[in-house]
Structure 1
Amino acid sequence: MSRHSFVFSSWSLRSLELEREALERDRFRRQYQSMCVARAESYKPRGTGTLGSEPGFLCKDPLVHNALFTGDNQRVRQLFGNKWPQNLLLLASGHDLKWHSEKPGIWSLCYKQEFITPLQITASRGYDKCLQHLLTSGADVDFAPGGKTALHEACENSQSECTRLLLTYGANPNSISEDGYTPLHLCTAPESLRCVELLLRFGCNVNSRTEDKGDTALHIAARFALEGHVQLYLRHGASVNRLNESEQSPLHCVCAQSHSSEDADRYFRVCHYLIEHGASVEALDEEKQSALHLACRTVNYRMVDLLLSQGIDVNRMDYGGNAPMHKALQAVAYKLEHEPERTVRSLLNYGSIRIWPGAIPKVLRFCCQSPRTIEVLVNVYDRLKVTDDWVESVPLKVLQEHQDFYESLFALSQTPRSLQHLARCAIRRHFEGHCQERIPQLPLPTFLKNYLLLQFQDYIS
């Protein structure tokens, strides 16, 4: 199919380009592994029966495998340096699945076999004594037959002592794996903070980018909400507004990452720290989404409040014509534990567009499990025409579960809104999009200020 035969979006073209690059990397990997196998098959032991130290010897001896994978330091010392070379190759199951056939017509899904070295095994499992013996015996510290060095493995598995040993013995802190990652990019767990400190001390580039997405270490740390990592990167000169291939900054990454309600505070703190250090809240990604769009989609109301307090445009439309309010409402049914009503209320208090009254039945269908969300959406109108469509949009189970609220809502078809509510609408109309800023300054009792700012009542009056 010619790319000129159809209209391709930028996203489709980028996907095709990434697929082409992945196929190219896979081709190089197969070539390299074929070379290693050929070298292993042609290798002959020396006259005394002791093997040489050239990398490439393929070992299938279960004794060697068992010693390395269990961290048997005594056995490793006996084997390596005497009988076996330090840079031999072993086969292990990788992380990717593929279809494999040993007999014609019989296929099974199994993990790909990858080449690994004794250095990689011991570094990834934290066997620092075994690792030190291999290094002092002359193992190649940057040998990477499977695409990763031992330093990549140590950092990916948060093995700080092994990371220190490898760097001390000359491992390259900026080595790039077959997938285009440096060891710093693989520090994705809170426990890897010590590894990060060591890498930075030994001169790794804090602003290096991954080949596939163009992420820096700060993008990755923000995505995983690693507070210590983010602070350390910024102290070492990480660029807080650098964009990746999707034109996302680290602030976009922390706002876009879906997370549990237990982790919401951690993501908020990282967001706050990035803004304190100059992150632009108005930056847009390739879909013209701001950080507010993304925070509304993940329904983290604390991040939403923080972004709104920075003066971000609450009604900016993305390429799909969605404002932040649309993003929040689309996520309500899937993020009930995040209290989505708080996000919706904050948007309205900062001047977000209201839902068109004719669309309320549709909103009820998707958001009825969050009555408080419906409450704040309805309470920004001084009058609404309640129809049978409203009642039909709420499932019977939800009606029974929140009976008092929905009875008060549907009663609006026969009862006008209270005078108190009408006064609230008039005051909010006067302040337009500045309710959150101006209402707290009014000389009114706290409970009235809260009422004006759409405090939840769990019924409609």
Structure 2
Amino acid sequence: MSFAFSPSALRSLRADEMLLEQHRRQKLLAAPRLTGYLPKREAWDKGPTRAASAPSGPPLVCRDLVVHNALFTGDLEAVKRLFPKGAPVNLVVESRGGDMRWICRNQGLWSLTYEQELTTPLHIAAGRGFADCLRHLLRREADVTLSPGGTTALHEACEGGHGECARLLLSYGANANAVNEDGLMPLHVCTSPESLECAKHLLQFGAAANGRSLEEDDTPLHVAARHGLLDHVDLYLRYGAEVEKQNDEGQTPLNAACSEPQAPEDRERYLRVCRMLLRAGADVHTEDRDNQTPLHMACKQVNPDVVELLLRRGASVNCMCYSGDAPMHNVLKATAYKSRNQPERVVRALLNHGSIRVWPGALAKVLKYCCTSPRTIEVLLNSYDRLKITDAWSEAVPPDVFQEHRQFYESLFALKQTPRSLQHLARCKLRLLLEGRVHEAVPKLGLPTFLQNYLLLDFRDYVH
């Protein structure tokens, strides 16, 4: 569809387009200073870098659907027939992308059309893992450095996790440290478990294990830790990746791993990644630009296994971030929408390591936002020797939540007229004497297991 714009709107659209182009050019120009490698577009601007036998002028544009179909389906026989010896192979293929953008075709007339993606036969074969087609194109002298859409065929192969394609491109001279238009090297796009072979080939062909991305200043180790890729982390560490490198946000790889949202089924992977980084020398006290430590972020993402690991390694349980939040605040804020991640375990671990508690006057508010996780409420309230329960407490629990956890909330609201039990008061007194050392002192007391668990705020699904 097309629309006619007023002169002022037209000027505004053109100004926006110029700003976007200027920003893109600035990104490309900044790459050599930050990475030491030239993006392809700048290399073209600075002068010819291809072999002397390479043809001059713009590459041919292919719109032949027969060629497109052969390439996108990986039909090797058709590719051999369409690209015989001596035939041009460095073609630019236009394909329609999924995004739409405004394009000015005539004076004052702009059209909303699908964005055209520019690629090459080499990119298509590499990105889809058609190794046989890729090998044929390379034997026909396809240029491994072409990047008409702002990325190289090697990036495409690595992003798709096609190790054999990455190996072929590298053996034919592809730059293992090439930078795409987003400022990423091939190692930065190895974000899936399937890309491990690609990462191995890249490092064997000289990829920089500590190469930095243009915008985020991430290293490959940051990327691997953020995606919970244990084998990638192990590989990069063996190739000399620096475990305490900080990106633009001040995050180390350990911070990055702890900051990533994790489904319950992924928690074990991230625990193993964090354990490996700590063994390699990662510092649990390193803060990002907002003064958040790995413990802050692990609490925010409610990963109890990682929280317990960090606390065992000496993480500061009461360190405040820039906004004034301690790790306890972070987990309580996340409990409402991460109840499947066992936030009660995080709260218990923090309290047993001497965490600050919630101001008693704010407990009704905590109850309102955390009521769907009664065990979190239980372990938090069991750290107080007395509670002042008001009508606001019962109003904070919706009727459906009350019915779902009726036994627990009836035991809680019964304390409005009843003091805490003598057993609980004795527990509070002993915990006060062992403040900050409960987790290590209680197991040494030689008490029966039941009493040890009781002192360590084990869950009973009611309060007394």
Q: Same fold (TM over 0.5)?
A: yes
Does residue 289 of the first structure (1) align with residue 296 of the second (2)?
no
In structure 2, how many angstroms separate the alpha carbons of the residues matched to 1:410 and 1:140?
74
More displaced stretch, 279-288 vs 91-100: 91-100
Q: CA deviation at 1:59?
A: 1.1
Higher relative contact order (CA 8 A, sep 6+): 2
- Asked if 1:175 corresponds to 2:178, the answer is yes
- What is the aligned partner in structure 2 of residue 397 from structure 1? 400
- Deviation of 1:82 (Å): 5.2
Structure 1 residues 74-83 or 309-318, which shifts more?
A: 74-83
Equivalent in the alignment of 1:160: 163
Q: Secondary structure at the match of 1:272?
A: helix
Q: Could you tell me which residue of structure 1 aligns to residue 278 of structure 2?
A: 275
State the Cα deviation string for residues 307-355 of structure 1 (Å, max 9, x = none).
0111111001111010000000000001011011110110000000011
How far apart are residue 81 of structure 1 and its match?
Answer: 3.7
* Distance (Å, rounded) in 1 between the aligned partners of 2:389 and 2:21: 52
CA distance in 2, matches of 1:347, 1:215: 30
Q: Which residue of 1 aligns with 2:356?
A: 353
| Aligned partner letter, 1:340 | P
Residues 227 and 406 (structure 1 numbering): CA distance in 2 closer, same or farther, change over 3 Å? same
- The Cα shift of 1:93 comes to 3.0
2:339 maps to amino acid: L
Aligned equivalents of 2:240, 2:29: Cα separation in 1: 37
Q: What is residue 316 of structure 2 aligned with on the other side?
A: 313
What is the 5 A alignment of 1:6-85? 21-22=23-24, 24-25=26-27, 56-81=59-84, 84-85=87-88
Alignment of 1:338 with 2:341, yes or no, is yes
Please, which of 197, 206, 209 is the counterpart of residue 203 of structure 1? 206
Distance 2:369 2:339 in 1: 12
Does residue 298 of structure 2 align to residue 302 of structure 1?
no
Instruction: Return 85-94 or 238-247, whichever deviates more.
Output: 85-94
In the alignment, the residues of structure 2 paired with residue 442 and residue 172 of structure 1 have an alpha-carbon distance, to the nearest angstrom, of 62
Tell me whether 1:147 sits opposite 2:150 in the alignment: yes
After superposing the two structures, state which structure 1 stretch, 75-84 or 281-290, moved more.
75-84
1:231 aligned to 227, 230, 234, which one? Answer: 234
- State the alpha-carbon separation in 1 of the partners of residues 352 and 27 from structure 2: 51
CA drift at 1:32: 6.6
* Distance in 2 between residues matched to 1:428 and 1:416, nearest whole Å: 19
Structure 1 segments of 4+ aligned residues over 6 angstroms from their partners? 17-20, 101-106
User: RMSD of aligned C-alpha atoms?
Assistant: 2.6
Letter in 2 for 1:136: R
TM-score, normalised to structure 1's length? 0.88
Is structure 2 residue 227 aligned with structure 1 residue 216?
Answer: no
Partner of 2:259: 256
User: How many aligned residue pairs are there?
Assistant: 427
- CA offset at residue 67 of structure 1? 1.3
SS of the residue 1:98 aligns to: strand
Tell me the SS of whatever aligns to 1:375: helix
Percent sequence identity over aligned pairs = 53
Decide whether the 8 Å contact of 1:55 with 1:87 is kept in 2: no
Tell me, in whole angstroms, the C-alpha distance in 2 between the residues paired with 1:433 and 1:331. Answer: 24
Cα deviation, 1:196-224, whole Å, max 9, x if unaligned, reads 11111111101001001000000000000
Letter in 1 for 2:461: D
**Separation in structure 1 between the aligned mates of residue 113 and residue 314 of structure 2, nearest angstrom:** 52
Which string of whole-angstrom CA distances, capped at 9 and with x for unpartnered residues, describes residues 280-312 of structure 1?
Answer: 100000000000000000000000000011111
How far apart in 1 are the matches of 2:152 and 2:112?
30
Cα distance change, pair 361–221 in 1 and its aligned pair in 2 (3 A): same
Unaligned runs of 5+ in 1: 1-16, 37-51
CA gap of 1:254–1:32, structure 2 versus 1, over 3 A, is: closer
Structure 2: give runs of 5+ residues left out of the alignment.
1-18, 31-39, 46-54
Match of 1:133 among 133, 136, 140: 136
Find the residue that maps to 1:76 and give its secondary structure: helix
Residue deviations 1:10-43, cap 9 Å, x none? xxxxxxx999744745999xx979x99xxxxxxx
Gap change, CA 1:21 and 1:397, over 3 Å in 2? same
- Structure 1 residues 152 and 71, CA gap change in structure 2 (3 angstroms): same
Q: What is the CA distance between 1:357 and its match in structure 2?
A: 0.7
Contact 1:333 1:369 (8 Å CA) reproduced: yes
Moved more, 318-327 or 17-26: 17-26
Residue 10 of structure 1 is matched in structure 2 by none
Distance, in Å, in 1 between the alignment partners of 2:23 and 2:236 is 29
